[in-house]
Structure 1
Amino acid sequence: MGAAYKILGKTVQPHVLAISTFIATAAVTSYFTIKPKSRDETENTSPLNQTSDGKSSTANADGKDDDVMKSIEGFLNDLEKDAKQDTKAS
């Protein structure tokens, strides 16, 4: 047999130590990624996703946010104007 480690008075083979390290790392990682959010984390949502009454909302029932839609439409209109000016100049 090869070398072994003594941990808390027990002899542990290196392959058992390696496997248990992988399992412990996976368990800790999955716990922190799957764990439900605490109340403090849910109350401190991003200000972009909050409405004026404080409730978290990303969009209305149609899936459209009026301010964002207006901004996008304005941007697209500006692009169309620039494209028209470029074609007239050419």
Structure 2
Amino acid sequence: MRQYNIALSAVESFYSVETGDWPGMIELFQERLEQVEVYREGVRRELYDSLRDPEFSWKSALWNEDFHVEEFETEGEARAFIENVVLPLVERVFAKVQS
């Protein structure tokens, strides 16, 4: 199984329940994406790669003994969180910096 360290680190850091779902963390994530091109590209690439990887489990990555983002019942629900919450933010930043 391939590791997606950049994407995992971003999601674990900025979406963790330990931050209390603080909206400022999402703003900080957006700022970092805007400011650091290599980070932005790495997060985006790894999110897409991980969603295409049938062996990678976002369900396990989002809730385990080390990290607590959200506990999902199914792998499909966990992947939907990445596709519908995290990826749109990354894509908005990409569109913004490209224009």
> Aligning the two structures, in what range does the TM-score lie when normalised by the shorter sequence?
under 0.3
Higher strand share: 1
Q: Higher relative contact order at CA 8 Å, sep ≥6: structure 1 or structure 2?
A: 2
Bigger radius of gyration, 1 or 2?
1
TM-score (norm 1): 0.23
TM-score (norm 2): 0.22
